[in-house]
Structure 1
């Protein structure tokens, strides 16, 4: 008698055929071929878009200035952050957690959360959203910037009011809502 597992391993036929229409993605965060946008005072670089992953996920390189970060919100997709530099305070369901470089934070779908840079210097992190869509939202509501390290623009009050209206109009499309915590 053997101690082999009783469950059968999947056969190769259960794996779909390769889709030659999907291409390898190699993204340089400082490259000229990736979009950079200013969102919530930071600079977000779309490294891998939902269009490149058949909607499975997107990956965003985020530079968050001291004191920066989004207001409390929630959405119907998973969001994972890996902090590369700095320190952030994540507020999850009303409870704060300070996270330092090297840590990874997973925010479950639908949970209220926010983050704020408390390190006193620019923080850098990678953000993966699954499924994709947040990349499209950032591109729609952000202010385009030339590079990952370009300073964020200083929009006029009128431009900020217009962006605020656009954000409010697009939140339902991207299954996101602002919340109080």
Structure 2
């Protein structure tokens, strides 16, 4: 007999045979899955941040802008690219633009903020990194180190947020 037909004929069937419906429940996330989700969310954010950060540093350095202006451009572009990457996936799921923007803001703001705070602090703190030209290994080594450190320190933040249904946890419904 077809299970759906049997259930319609006998609504008490669900309570009579709970083992048939156990597959509808989802187990609580384990520490490993939460860390994996946090690392994936951080890597996703890092991609957008890195694109914006590198582009901002290249623009500021090539244009000979003051370090503060270069940092501001880098931060602005990191947010733009970070949000854009999240919105791309959410829009692909058929979510309207305004709602996709709200989802991206909820998912990425804290992560990008923490990441930008870390990587720009490193870039400013490393002597000569901001003044090094684009052809200088110091510039690229400092930028790579700053992004690695940002990833390592932002992952626990994202884990904490995901564990509370915040941050990138709000995006998972659209993937």
TM-score (norm 2): 0.28
| Larger helix fraction of residues | 2
| Larger strand fraction of residues | 1
Larger radius of gyration: 2
